[in-house]
Amino acid sequence: MNVNVQFREDGNVLKGYIEGEIDTYTAQILREELETVQIVEGRKIELDLSKVNYMDSTGLGIFVAFYKKVTRENASLKLVNLSNRLVRLFEITGLSELMSIEIDEELELK
């Protein structure tokens, strides 16, 4: 499986849509895509993970590094539409206390 990332501007919010599996094999693709994001003070970035069906610790590391880069520039990052499985991964590692995470309500009901 591969990972696909697309970005769309929505006012002052940059919305990123990530699809696929994030693991050792695909992590570099995600890292490179996130490195292209221009981060300016006050910018809001939302990454939609509703179509991420698997993520390992490599993926967590990429999001932590991106989070640090965003906060260094006084911008904000929110991960949205996470499945219960991904939310649990962030909770177990304690990252849910650090990062803004929003569960996918539709997935939660299933």
Is the distance from CB of 63 to CB of 48 less than 8 angstroms? no
Token code pair at residue 9: 């501007």
- Structural domain of 49: 3-95+105-109
Domains in the chain, number: 1
**pTM, full prediction:** 0.90
User: Residue 16, exposed/middle/buried by CB under 10 A (0-12, 13-18, 19+)?
Assistant: buried
Q: What is the pLDDT of residue 109?
A: 44
Q: What is the pLDDT of residue 62?
A: 96
Distance CA 27, CA 71 (A): 21
Distance CA 58, CA 34 (A): 14
- Beta-strand ranges (E) seen in 1-110 are 3-10, 13-22, 44-55, 76-82, 100-103
DSSP annotation of 74: T
Q: What is the pLDDT of residue 21?
A: 96
The pLDDT tens digits along the chain (110 residues) read 689 999 999 988 999 999 999 999 999 999 999 999 999 999 999 999 999 999 999 999 999 999 999 999 999 999 999 999 999 999 999 999 999 999 876 654 44
User: Residue 60 falls within a domain, yes or no?
Assistant: yes
Q: What is the pLDDT of residue 12?
A: 85
Q: What CA–CA distances, in Å, run from 81 to 1, 57, 97?
A: 21, 19, 17
Q: Which CATH number covers residue 52?
A: 3.30.750.24
User: Residue 100 falls within a domain, yes or no?
Assistant: no
